[in-house]
Protein backbone atom coordinates (compact mmCIF):
# COMPACT_ATOMS: atom_id res chain seq x y z
CA UNK A 1 0.00 0.00 0.00
CA UNK A 2 1.28 3.45 -0.90
CA UNK A 3 1.32 6.05 1.88
CA UNK A 4 -0.59 9.15 0.76
CA UNK A 5 1.19 12.49 0.74
CA UNK A 6 0.24 15.02 3.43
CA UNK A 7 1.94 17.93 1.69
CA UNK A 8 2.90 18.04 -1.97
CA UNK A 9 5.06 20.81 -3.40
CA UNK A 10 5.14 21.27 -7.16
CA UNK A 11 7.72 23.73 -8.30
CA UNK A 12 7.11 25.91 -5.24
CA UNK A 13 8.69 29.34 -5.53
CA UNK A 14 8.27 32.11 -2.95
CA UNK A 15 9.91 35.50 -3.45
CA UNK A 16 10.34 38.63 -1.38
CA UNK A 17 10.61 41.64 -3.69
CA UNK A 18 11.16 39.32 -6.66
CA UNK A 19 14.17 37.64 -5.04
CA UNK A 20 13.38 34.00 -4.36
CA UNK A 21 13.55 32.71 -0.78
CA UNK A 22 12.51 29.30 -2.11
CA UNK A 23 13.32 28.41 -5.67
CA UNK A 24 11.45 25.67 -7.56
CA UNK A 25 11.03 23.09 -4.81
CA UNK A 26 9.19 19.88 -5.66
CA UNK A 27 8.42 16.77 -3.66
CA UNK A 28 6.16 15.41 -0.92
CA UNK A 29 5.98 14.98 2.82
CA UNK A 30 4.23 11.64 3.34
CA UNK A 31 1.36 11.33 5.80
CA UNK A 32 2.65 10.27 9.19
CA UNK A 33 6.27 11.14 8.40
CA UNK A 34 8.61 12.92 10.81
CA UNK A 35 10.83 15.28 8.84
CA UNK A 36 13.48 17.82 9.72
CA UNK A 37 14.16 20.83 7.53
CA UNK A 38 17.80 21.87 7.76
CA UNK A 39 19.98 24.41 6.01
CA UNK A 40 22.07 27.52 6.63
CA UNK A 41 20.56 30.83 7.73
CA UNK A 42 18.51 32.50 5.03
CA UNK A 43 17.94 29.25 3.19
CA UNK A 44 14.13 29.52 3.16
CA UNK A 45 13.27 27.06 5.95
CA UNK A 46 10.85 29.34 7.75
CA UNK A 47 9.39 30.47 4.45
CA UNK A 48 8.70 26.84 3.57
CA UNK A 49 6.72 26.29 6.80
CA UNK A 50 4.86 29.58 6.36
CA UNK A 51 3.83 28.74 2.85
CA UNK A 52 2.59 25.30 3.94
CA UNK A 53 0.60 27.03 6.72
CA UNK A 54 -0.73 29.42 4.01
CA UNK A 55 0.81 32.43 5.77
CA UNK A 56 2.76 33.55 2.71
CA UNK A 57 1.49 33.10 -0.86
CA UNK A 58 3.52 31.25 -3.48
CA UNK A 59 4.63 33.21 -6.54
CA UNK A 60 2.27 33.36 -9.44
CA UNK A 61 3.29 31.65 -12.64
CA UNK A 62 6.51 29.82 -13.17
CA UNK A 63 8.96 32.41 -14.38
CA UNK A 64 9.53 34.58 -17.41
CA UNK A 65 8.23 32.02 -19.86
CA UNK A 66 4.86 32.68 -18.23
CA UNK A 67 3.16 29.33 -17.90
CA UNK A 68 -0.33 29.25 -16.48
CA UNK A 69 -0.64 29.25 -12.71
CA UNK A 70 -0.38 25.79 -11.24
CA UNK A 71 -1.19 24.64 -7.76
CA UNK A 72 2.19 24.81 -6.08
CA UNK A 73 1.19 23.43 -2.70
CA UNK A 74 -1.46 20.92 -1.86
CA UNK A 75 -2.06 20.20 1.81
CA UNK A 76 -4.35 17.29 2.64
CA UNK A 77 -4.85 17.58 6.44
CA UNK A 78 -7.47 20.10 7.49
CA UNK A 79 -6.08 20.70 10.95
CA UNK A 80 -2.69 22.37 10.81
CA UNK A 81 -0.69 23.28 13.89
CA UNK A 82 1.97 25.92 13.37
CA UNK A 83 4.55 26.95 15.96
CA UNK A 84 6.19 30.22 14.96
CA UNK A 85 9.49 31.46 16.33
CA UNK A 86 8.70 32.82 19.80
CA UNK A 87 9.35 36.47 18.96
CA UNK A 88 6.22 36.70 16.81
CA UNK A 89 3.62 36.98 19.60
CA UNK A 90 2.99 39.82 22.02
CA UNK A 91 4.25 38.73 25.44
CA UNK A 92 3.11 41.97 27.09
CA UNK A 93 -0.54 41.16 26.37
CA UNK A 94 -2.61 40.58 29.55
CA UNK A 95 -3.27 36.89 28.97
CA UNK A 96 -3.09 34.03 31.45
CA UNK A 97 -1.27 30.79 30.72
CA UNK A 98 -4.54 28.84 30.83
CA UNK A 99 -6.25 31.17 28.34
CA UNK A 100 -3.28 31.02 26.02
CA UNK A 101 -3.37 27.23 25.95
CA UNK A 102 -7.16 27.34 25.54
CA UNK A 103 -6.64 29.21 22.25
CA UNK A 104 -5.66 25.79 20.90
CA UNK A 105 -9.40 24.99 20.85
CA UNK A 106 -9.96 27.64 18.17
CA UNK A 107 -10.08 25.12 15.32
CA UNK A 108 -12.94 23.34 17.07
CA UNK A 109 -14.91 26.21 18.55
CA UNK A 110 -14.04 29.24 16.39
CA UNK A 111 -14.93 32.71 17.60
CA UNK A 112 -18.24 31.87 19.26
CA UNK A 113 -18.39 28.17 20.21
CA UNK A 114 -18.31 27.05 23.82
CA UNK A 115 -15.26 25.38 25.35
CA UNK A 116 -16.68 22.10 26.65
CA UNK A 117 -15.80 20.30 29.87
CA UNK A 118 -13.84 17.74 27.84
CA UNK A 119 -11.82 20.55 26.25
CA UNK A 120 -11.16 22.06 29.68
CA UNK A 121 -9.84 18.70 30.84
CA UNK A 122 -7.70 18.56 27.72
CA UNK A 123 -6.25 21.99 28.50
CA UNK A 124 -5.48 21.02 32.11
CA UNK A 125 -3.95 17.77 30.87
CA UNK A 126 -1.77 19.57 28.32
CA UNK A 127 -0.50 22.00 30.97
CA UNK A 128 0.28 19.07 33.25
CA UNK A 129 1.99 17.29 30.36
CA UNK A 130 4.42 20.14 29.75
CA UNK A 131 5.05 20.49 33.50
CA UNK A 132 3.33 23.83 33.97
CA UNK A 133 0.64 22.85 36.49
CA UNK A 134 0.24 25.70 38.99
CA UNK A 135 0.99 28.30 36.31
CA UNK A 136 -2.62 28.50 35.08
CA UNK A 137 -3.36 32.00 36.37
CA UNK A 138 0.08 33.45 35.77
CA UNK A 139 0.37 36.09 33.10
CA UNK A 140 2.39 34.97 30.09
CA UNK A 141 4.49 38.11 30.49
CA UNK A 142 6.02 36.62 33.65
CA UNK A 143 7.26 33.45 31.92
CA UNK A 144 10.79 32.75 30.76
CA UNK A 145 11.27 31.96 27.08
CA UNK A 146 11.60 28.23 27.86
CA UNK A 147 8.34 28.25 29.84
CA UNK A 148 6.67 30.21 27.05
CA UNK A 149 7.76 27.59 24.54
CA UNK A 150 6.22 24.91 26.77
CA UNK A 151 2.97 26.88 26.85
CA UNK A 152 2.98 26.93 23.06
CA UNK A 153 3.61 23.17 22.97
CA UNK A 154 0.63 22.73 25.31
CA UNK A 155 -1.43 24.78 22.87
CA UNK A 156 -0.31 22.48 20.06
CA UNK A 157 -1.30 19.46 22.15
CA UNK A 158 -4.77 20.96 22.62
CA UNK A 159 -5.01 21.74 18.90
CA UNK A 160 -4.99 18.05 18.03
CA UNK A 161 -3.64 18.83 14.54
CA UNK A 162 -2.91 16.24 11.84
CA UNK A 163 -0.05 18.25 10.39
CA UNK A 164 2.32 19.97 12.81
CA UNK A 165 4.82 22.60 11.64
CA UNK A 166 7.53 23.63 14.11
CA UNK A 167 9.82 26.56 13.39
CA UNK A 168 13.01 26.19 15.44
CA UNK A 169 11.17 24.75 18.46
CA UNK A 170 14.34 24.37 20.53
CA UNK A 171 16.06 27.72 19.98
CA UNK A 172 16.97 29.44 23.27
CA UNK A 173 15.85 26.48 25.37
CA UNK A 174 17.91 24.48 27.86
CA UNK A 175 18.66 20.83 27.18
CA UNK A 176 16.25 19.43 29.81
CA UNK A 177 13.33 21.36 28.35
CA UNK A 178 14.18 20.49 24.77
CA UNK A 179 14.46 16.82 25.74
CA UNK A 180 10.97 17.06 27.29
CA UNK A 181 9.57 18.80 24.22
CA UNK A 182 11.22 16.26 21.92
CA UNK A 183 9.26 13.48 23.60
CA UNK A 184 6.06 15.22 22.49
CA UNK A 185 7.31 15.36 18.91
CA UNK A 186 8.13 11.65 18.97
CA UNK A 187 4.75 10.93 20.56
CA UNK A 188 2.97 12.85 17.76
CA UNK A 189 4.93 10.75 15.27
CA UNK A 190 3.81 7.52 16.96
CA UNK A 191 0.23 8.77 16.87
CA UNK A 192 0.49 8.97 13.08
CA UNK A 193 0.56 12.75 12.77
CA UNK A 194 2.74 14.40 10.15
CA UNK A 195 5.46 16.53 11.74
CA UNK A 196 7.80 18.93 9.92
CA UNK A 197 10.37 20.75 12.07
CA UNK A 198 12.99 23.35 11.20
CA UNK A 199 16.10 22.47 13.21
CA UNK A 200 19.71 23.57 13.50
CA UNK A 201 21.05 20.66 15.55
CA UNK A 202 22.35 18.09 13.05
CA UNK A 203 23.07 15.52 15.78
CA UNK A 204 19.50 15.71 17.05
CA UNK A 205 18.17 15.31 13.52
CA UNK A 206 20.36 12.26 12.88
CA UNK A 207 19.20 10.59 16.11
CA UNK A 208 15.47 11.21 16.02
CA UNK A 209 14.25 12.32 12.59
CA UNK A 210 13.82 9.59 9.95
CA UNK A 211 13.47 12.06 7.04
CA UNK A 212 15.24 15.29 6.22
CA UNK A 213 15.12 18.07 3.71
CA UNK A 214 18.25 20.13 3.09
CA UNK A 215 17.56 23.62 1.77
CA UNK A 216 19.74 26.43 0.51
CA UNK A 217 16.97 28.37 -1.23
CA UNK A 218 17.20 25.59 -3.80
CA UNK A 219 16.52 22.03 -2.75
CA UNK A 220 19.89 20.40 -2.03
CA UNK A 221 18.68 16.98 -0.95
CA UNK A 222 15.48 15.37 0.36
CA UNK A 223 15.01 11.81 1.61
CA UNK A 224 16.05 9.64 4.53
CA UNK A 225 18.24 11.51 6.95
CA UNK A 226 21.28 9.28 6.43
CA UNK A 227 21.24 10.00 2.70
CA UNK A 228 20.62 13.73 3.08
CA UNK A 229 22.96 14.82 5.86
CA UNK A 230 26.17 13.68 4.18
CA UNK A 231 29.32 15.75 4.37
CA UNK A 232 29.15 16.40 0.64
CA UNK A 233 25.55 17.67 0.75
CA UNK A 234 26.20 19.89 3.77
CA UNK A 235 29.26 21.41 2.13
CA UNK A 236 27.26 22.05 -1.01
CA UNK A 237 24.49 23.77 1.00
CA UNK A 238 27.03 25.97 2.75
CA UNK A 239 28.65 26.98 -0.51
CA UNK A 240 25.36 28.13 -2.04
CA UNK A 241 25.68 31.79 -1.27
CA UNK A 242 23.21 33.83 0.77
CA UNK A 243 23.58 36.33 -2.03
CA UNK A 244 20.95 38.89 -2.91
CA UNK A 245 22.06 39.96 -6.36
CA UNK A 246 20.27 43.18 -7.28
CA UNK A 247 21.02 42.63 -10.95
CA UNK A 248 20.24 38.91 -11.05
CA UNK A 249 18.58 37.89 -14.28
CA UNK A 250 14.91 36.95 -14.33
CA UNK A 251 14.49 33.24 -13.74
CA UNK A 252 13.31 31.32 -16.78
CA UNK A 253 13.07 27.76 -15.55
CA UNK A 254 10.31 25.91 -17.34
CA UNK A 255 7.48 24.37 -15.43
CA UNK A 256 9.61 21.27 -14.87
CA UNK A 257 11.14 20.70 -11.46
CA UNK A 258 14.87 21.12 -11.16
CA UNK A 259 16.65 17.79 -11.17
CA UNK A 260 17.89 16.69 -7.74
CA UNK A 261 21.62 16.49 -7.27
CA UNK B 1 -26.81 66.79 60.26
CA UNK B 2 -29.60 67.97 58.06
CA UNK B 3 -27.32 70.79 56.98
CA UNK B 4 -24.83 68.23 55.75
CA UNK B 5 -27.56 66.27 53.97
CA UNK B 6 -28.85 69.45 52.36
CA UNK B 7 -25.33 70.40 51.32
CA UNK B 8 -24.78 66.94 49.84
CA UNK B 9 -28.06 67.12 47.96
CA UNK B 10 -27.27 70.57 46.61
CA UNK B 11 -23.78 69.56 45.57
CA UNK B 12 -24.30 66.10 44.15
CA UNK B 13 -27.92 65.68 43.12
CA UNK B 14 -29.66 69.01 42.72
CA UNK B 15 -27.90 69.94 39.46
CA UNK B 16 -29.21 66.78 37.85
CA UNK B 17 -32.63 66.94 39.52
CA UNK B 18 -33.21 70.56 38.58
CA UNK B 19 -31.90 70.76 35.05
CA UNK B 20 -32.82 68.56 32.12
CA UNK B 21 -29.66 69.52 30.18
CA UNK B 22 -27.55 68.21 33.09
CA UNK B 23 -29.47 64.92 33.10
CA UNK B 24 -29.03 64.50 29.35
CA UNK B 25 -25.33 65.32 29.61
CA UNK B 26 -24.93 62.77 32.41
CA UNK B 27 -26.69 59.99 30.49
CA UNK B 28 -24.69 60.70 27.33
CA UNK B 29 -21.42 60.74 29.25
CA UNK B 30 -22.19 57.50 31.08
CA UNK B 31 -23.21 55.77 27.84
CA UNK B 32 -19.98 56.86 26.19
CA UNK B 33 -17.99 55.75 29.24
CA UNK B 34 -19.53 52.29 29.02
CA UNK B 35 -18.80 51.73 25.32
CA UNK B 36 -15.76 53.84 24.43
CA UNK B 37 -13.41 53.16 27.37
CA UNK B 38 -13.13 49.38 26.70
CA UNK B 39 -12.29 50.14 23.07
CA UNK B 40 -9.53 52.39 24.37
CA UNK B 41 -8.05 49.46 26.31
CA UNK B 42 -7.84 47.45 23.10
CA UNK B 43 -6.28 50.42 21.31
CA UNK B 44 -3.52 50.68 23.93
CA UNK B 45 -2.96 46.91 23.79
CA UNK B 46 -2.55 47.12 20.03
CA UNK B 47 -0.12 50.05 20.50
CA UNK B 48 -2.52 52.32 18.65
CA UNK B 49 -3.21 54.80 21.47
CA UNK B 50 -3.01 57.75 19.09
CA UNK B 51 -5.42 56.25 16.57
CA UNK B 52 -8.42 57.88 18.25
CA UNK B 53 -6.97 61.29 17.49
CA UNK B 54 -6.26 60.36 13.90
CA UNK B 55 -9.72 58.94 13.27
CA UNK B 56 -11.47 61.87 14.91
CA UNK B 57 -9.85 64.06 12.27
CA UNK B 58 -10.57 61.56 9.53
CA UNK B 59 -14.34 61.89 9.96
CA UNK B 60 -14.20 65.64 9.26
CA UNK B 61 -14.87 65.56 5.47
CA UNK B 62 -17.93 63.37 6.04
CA UNK B 63 -19.25 65.71 8.71
CA UNK B 64 -18.62 68.67 6.41
CA UNK B 65 -20.46 67.07 3.49
CA UNK B 66 -23.34 66.19 5.81
CA UNK B 67 -23.41 69.81 6.96
CA UNK B 68 -23.33 71.13 3.37
CA UNK B 69 -26.20 68.87 2.34
CA UNK B 70 -28.59 69.47 5.22
CA UNK B 71 -27.21 72.20 7.43
CA UNK B 72 -26.88 71.74 11.20
CA UNK B 73 -28.62 68.34 11.10
CA UNK B 74 -27.17 65.90 13.59
CA UNK B 75 -28.33 62.86 11.62
CA UNK B 76 -26.79 64.00 8.33
CA UNK B 77 -23.50 64.96 9.96
CA UNK B 78 -23.36 61.71 11.97
CA UNK B 79 -24.05 59.58 8.90
CA UNK B 80 -21.44 61.53 6.93
CA UNK B 81 -18.91 61.20 9.73
CA UNK B 82 -19.44 57.46 10.14
CA UNK B 83 -19.16 56.88 6.38
CA UNK B 84 -15.98 58.96 6.14
CA UNK B 85 -14.43 57.24 9.17
CA UNK B 86 -15.26 53.78 7.84
CA UNK B 87 -13.92 54.71 4.41
CA UNK B 88 -10.65 55.92 5.92
CA UNK B 89 -10.30 52.86 8.18
CA UNK B 90 -11.20 50.55 5.29
CA UNK B 91 -8.77 52.17 2.87
CA UNK B 92 -6.00 52.04 5.46
CA UNK B 93 -6.84 48.38 6.05
CA UNK B 94 -6.61 47.61 2.32
CA UNK B 95 -3.28 49.40 2.04
CA UNK B 96 -1.95 47.42 5.02
CA UNK B 97 -3.14 44.14 3.53
CA UNK B 98 -1.85 44.55 0.02
CA UNK B 99 1.32 46.66 0.37
CA UNK B 100 4.44 46.68 2.53
CA UNK B 101 3.10 49.46 4.83
CA UNK B 102 2.15 48.75 8.43
CA UNK B 103 -1.22 49.65 9.95
CA UNK B 104 -0.14 52.90 11.65
CA UNK B 105 1.70 54.23 8.61
CA UNK B 106 -1.12 53.60 6.16
CA UNK B 107 -3.66 55.10 8.57
CA UNK B 108 -1.56 58.22 9.11
CA UNK B 109 -1.31 58.77 5.36
CA UNK B 110 -5.02 58.29 4.67
CA UNK B 111 -6.29 60.35 7.60
CA UNK B 112 -4.08 63.33 6.75
CA UNK B 113 -5.52 63.42 3.24
CA UNK B 114 -9.02 63.16 4.69
CA UNK B 115 -8.33 65.97 7.16
CA UNK B 116 -7.04 68.24 4.38
CA UNK B 117 -10.17 67.49 2.38
CA UNK B 118 -12.38 68.21 5.40
CA UNK B 119 -10.77 71.56 6.16
CA UNK B 120 -11.02 72.57 2.51
CA UNK B 121 -14.71 71.69 2.40
CA UNK B 122 -15.52 73.50 5.63
CA UNK B 123 -13.60 76.68 4.87
CA UNK B 124 -15.20 76.84 1.44
CA UNK B 125 -18.75 76.43 2.64
CA UNK B 126 -19.12 77.57 6.22
CA UNK B 127 -18.03 80.14 8.73
CA UNK B 128 -15.34 79.80 11.37
CA UNK B 129 -18.03 79.40 14.00
CA UNK B 130 -19.47 76.29 12.34
CA UNK B 131 -16.06 74.67 12.29
CA UNK B 132 -15.60 75.37 15.97
CA UNK B 133 -18.99 73.93 16.78
CA UNK B 134 -18.29 70.79 14.79
CA UNK B 135 -14.91 70.30 16.45
CA UNK B 136 -15.87 71.24 20.01
CA UNK B 137 -19.43 70.17 20.67
CA UNK B 138 -20.64 70.69 24.20
CA UNK B 139 -21.88 68.12 26.68
CA UNK B 140 -24.36 70.63 28.03
CA UNK B 141 -25.89 71.11 24.59
CA UNK B 142 -26.96 67.49 24.10
CA UNK B 143 -30.52 67.37 22.77
CA UNK B 144 -32.84 64.36 22.58
CA UNK B 145 -31.67 63.23 19.13
CA UNK B 146 -28.04 63.50 20.27
CA UNK B 147 -28.88 61.45 23.32
CA UNK B 148 -30.53 58.79 21.20
CA UNK B 149 -27.48 58.69 18.94
CA UNK B 150 -25.04 58.19 21.82
CA UNK B 151 -27.26 55.64 23.56
CA UNK B 152 -27.85 53.73 20.33
CA UNK B 153 -24.16 53.66 19.46
CA UNK B 154 -23.24 52.57 22.99
CA UNK B 155 -25.72 49.69 22.87
CA UNK B 156 -24.62 48.46 19.43
CA UNK B 157 -20.98 48.85 20.31
CA UNK B 158 -21.17 46.94 23.61
CA UNK B 159 -22.98 43.99 22.02
CA UNK B 160 -20.64 43.98 19.02
CA UNK B 161 -17.53 44.11 21.22
CA UNK B 162 -18.83 41.17 23.24
CA UNK B 163 -19.47 39.23 20.03
CA UNK B 164 -16.00 39.85 18.61
CA UNK B 165 -14.13 39.67 21.92
CA UNK B 166 -12.42 36.32 21.37
CA UNK B 167 -11.38 37.06 17.82
CA UNK B 168 -10.14 40.51 18.70
CA UNK B 169 -8.11 39.25 21.65
CA UNK B 170 -6.43 36.59 19.51
CA UNK B 171 -5.85 39.01 16.63
CA UNK B 172 -4.18 41.46 19.01
CA UNK B 173 -2.19 38.82 20.89
CA UNK B 174 -0.98 36.39 18.25
CA UNK B 175 -2.07 37.33 14.71
CA UNK B 176 0.19 34.70 13.12
CA UNK B 177 -1.54 31.90 15.02
CA UNK B 178 -4.96 33.30 14.10
CA UNK B 179 -3.97 33.41 10.44
CA UNK B 180 -2.84 29.78 10.62
CA UNK B 181 -5.96 28.37 12.31
CA UNK B 182 -8.88 30.63 11.38
CA UNK B 183 -11.41 29.72 8.72
CA UNK B 184 -11.55 32.19 5.81
CA UNK B 185 -14.53 34.10 7.27
CA UNK B 186 -12.70 34.70 10.56
CA UNK B 187 -9.33 35.91 9.30
CA UNK B 188 -7.45 38.66 11.09
CA UNK B 189 -8.57 41.58 8.93
CA UNK B 190 -12.23 40.81 9.73
CA UNK B 191 -11.65 41.44 13.44
CA UNK B 192 -9.36 44.36 12.83
CA UNK B 193 -11.81 46.12 10.52
CA UNK B 194 -14.81 45.35 12.75
CA UNK B 195 -12.93 46.83 15.69
CA UNK B 196 -11.99 49.99 13.78
CA UNK B 197 -15.64 50.41 12.76
CA UNK B 198 -16.63 50.33 16.44
CA UNK B 199 -14.00 52.96 17.21
CA UNK B 200 -15.36 55.13 14.37
CA UNK B 201 -19.01 55.02 15.45
CA UNK B 202 -18.06 55.73 19.07
CA UNK B 203 -15.91 58.67 18.06
CA UNK B 204 -18.61 60.09 15.80
CA UNK B 205 -21.26 59.73 18.50
CA UNK B 206 -19.04 61.34 21.10
CA UNK B 207 -17.66 63.94 18.76
CA UNK B 208 -21.07 65.17 17.63
CA UNK B 209 -22.60 65.43 21.04
CA UNK B 210 -19.72 66.04 23.39
CA UNK B 211 -16.84 67.27 21.25
CA UNK B 212 -13.64 65.73 19.90
CA UNK B 213 -11.64 66.23 23.06
CA UNK B 214 -14.31 64.48 25.13
CA UNK B 215 -14.73 61.63 22.67
CA UNK B 216 -11.04 60.80 22.41
CA UNK B 217 -10.29 61.69 26.03
CA UNK B 218 -12.98 59.47 27.52
CA UNK B 219 -11.83 56.65 25.23
CA UNK B 220 -8.11 56.81 25.97
CA UNK B 221 -7.34 58.33 29.40
CA UNK B 222 -9.29 55.82 31.56
CA UNK B 223 -7.98 53.00 29.36
CA UNK B 224 -4.37 53.99 29.92
CA UNK B 225 -4.89 54.31 33.69
CA UNK B 226 -6.77 51.00 33.88
CA UNK B 227 -3.76 49.13 32.50
CA UNK B 228 -1.80 50.19 35.59
CA UNK B 229 -4.28 48.55 37.95
CA UNK B 230 -4.80 45.00 36.70
CA UNK B 231 -3.02 42.11 34.97
CA UNK B 232 -6.23 40.65 33.60
CA UNK B 233 -7.90 42.04 30.51
CA UNK B 234 -11.46 41.70 31.82
CA UNK B 235 -10.61 43.67 34.95
CA UNK B 236 -8.89 46.34 32.85
CA UNK B 237 -12.00 46.76 30.69
CA UNK B 238 -14.30 47.17 33.70
CA UNK B 239 -11.88 49.48 35.47
CA UNK B 240 -11.63 51.70 32.39
CA UNK B 241 -15.42 52.03 32.15
CA UNK B 242 -15.72 52.81 35.86
CA UNK B 243 -12.99 55.45 35.72
CA UNK B 244 -14.64 57.03 32.68
CA UNK B 245 -18.06 57.06 34.37
CA UNK B 246 -16.58 58.54 37.55
CA UNK B 247 -14.72 61.28 35.68
CA UNK B 248 -17.86 62.03 33.67
CA UNK B 249 -20.06 62.45 36.74
CA UNK B 250 -17.58 64.37 38.84
CA UNK B 251 -16.53 66.48 35.86
CA UNK B 252 -20.10 67.50 35.09
CA UNK B 253 -20.70 68.49 38.72
CA UNK B 254 -17.46 70.47 38.90
CA UNK B 255 -18.22 72.27 35.67
CA UNK B 256 -21.69 73.13 37.01
CA UNK B 257 -20.48 74.48 40.34
CA UNK B 258 -17.35 76.23 39.10
CA UNK B 259 -18.84 77.37 35.82
CA UNK B 260 -16.12 75.80 33.67
CA UNK B 261 -16.61 74.21 30.22
CA UNK B 262 -17.90 70.67 30.68
CA UNK B 263 -15.71 68.73 28.20
CA UNK B 264 -12.32 69.91 29.41
CA UNK B 265 -13.44 69.56 33.05
CA UNK B 266 -14.45 65.94 32.50
CA UNK B 267 -11.15 65.19 30.77
CA UNK B 268 -9.38 67.02 33.59
CA UNK B 269 -10.99 64.61 36.06
CA UNK B 270 -9.91 61.64 33.94
CA UNK B 271 -6.43 63.18 33.93
CA UNK B 272 -6.48 63.48 37.74
CA UNK B 273 -7.41 59.80 37.97
CA UNK B 274 -4.56 59.03 35.58
CA UNK B 275 -2.03 60.84 37.78
CA UNK B 276 -3.43 59.12 40.87
CA UNK B 277 -3.08 55.78 39.07
CA UNK B 278 0.49 56.62 38.07
CA UNK B 279 1.28 57.09 41.74
CA UNK B 280 -0.83 54.51 43.56
CA UNK B 281 -1.78 51.70 41.16
CA UNK B 282 0.07 48.36 41.43
CA UNK B 283 1.84 49.11 38.15
CA UNK B 284 2.54 52.69 39.20
CA UNK B 285 5.44 54.41 40.85
CA UNK B 286 4.80 54.34 44.63
CA UNK B 287 4.22 50.56 45.01
CA UNK B 288 7.42 49.91 43.10
CA UNK B 289 9.32 52.38 45.24
CA UNK B 290 7.72 51.04 48.42
CA UNK B 291 8.40 47.35 47.73
CA UNK B 292 11.72 46.48 49.29
CA UNK B 293 11.11 42.82 50.09
CA UNK B 294 10.61 39.77 47.92
CA UNK B 295 9.35 36.24 48.41
CA UNK B 296 11.60 33.20 48.46
CA UNK B 297 9.91 31.62 45.44
Search chain A and give the residue with CA nearest B165: A111
Nearest to B45 by CA among A94, A87, A89: A94
Which of A55, A89, A100 is opposite residue B179, by nearest beta carbon?
A55
**What count of other Cβ atoms lies within 10 Å of the Cβ of residue A77?**
15
The ipTM of this complex is: 0.82
* Euclidean distance between CA atoms A87 and B179, whole angstroms: 16
* Euclidean distance between CA atoms A41 and A52, whole angstroms: 19
What are chain B's domains? 2-286 (1.10.3470.10)
Nearest to A209 by CA among A191, A197, A227, A221: A197
Q: What angle do CA B257, B261, B266 make, to 5 degrees?
A: 85
Chain B closest-CA separation from residue A213 CA (Å): 23
Q: What is the pLDDT of residues B103-146, one digit of tens each?
A: 888 888 998 998 888 888 877 766 555 555 655 566 677 788 88
- Is B172 at the interface with chain A, CB within 8 A? yes
Q: pTM to 2 decimals?
A: 0.86
**Range with the lowest mean pLDDT among A77-91, A100-114, B141-155, B159-173?**
A77-91
The confidence band for B1, taking pLDDT boundaries of 50, 70 and 90, is low
Hey, which bits of chain A come out as E strands? 5-16, 19-30, 34-38, 73-75, 80-83, 163-167, 194-198, 211-216, 218-224
B residues 127-146 closer than 8 Å to A (CB): none
If one compares A69 and B250, the residue with the highest pLDDT of the two is B250
Cβ neighbors of B125 (< 8 A, separation 6 or more) are B64, B67, B68
Cβ separation of A94 and B166 shorter than 8 Å? no
What are the phi and psi torsion angles at A15 (to 5°)?
-120, 150
* Euclidean distance between CA atoms A129 and A83, whole angstroms: 18
**B36 and B223 in contact (C-beta within 8 Å)?**
no
**In this predicted structure, what is the pLDDT of residue A261?**
39
Amino acid sequence: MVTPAAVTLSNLTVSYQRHPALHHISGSFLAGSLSAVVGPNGSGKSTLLKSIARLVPPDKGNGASGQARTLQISVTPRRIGYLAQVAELDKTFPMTVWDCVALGCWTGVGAWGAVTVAMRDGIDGALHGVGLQGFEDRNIGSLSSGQMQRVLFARLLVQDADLILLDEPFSAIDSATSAALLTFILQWHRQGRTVIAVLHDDALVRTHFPDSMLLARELVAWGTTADVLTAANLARARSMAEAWDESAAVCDVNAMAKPLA
Amino acid sequence: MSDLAAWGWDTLFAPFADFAFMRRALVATLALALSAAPLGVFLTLRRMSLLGDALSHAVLPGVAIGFMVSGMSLTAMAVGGVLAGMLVAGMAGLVTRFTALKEDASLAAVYLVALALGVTLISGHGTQLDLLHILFGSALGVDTSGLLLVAGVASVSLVALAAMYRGLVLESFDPVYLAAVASPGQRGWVWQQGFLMLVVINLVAGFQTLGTLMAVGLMMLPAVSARLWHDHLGAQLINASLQAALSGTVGLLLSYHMDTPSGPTIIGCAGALYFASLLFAPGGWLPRWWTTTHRVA
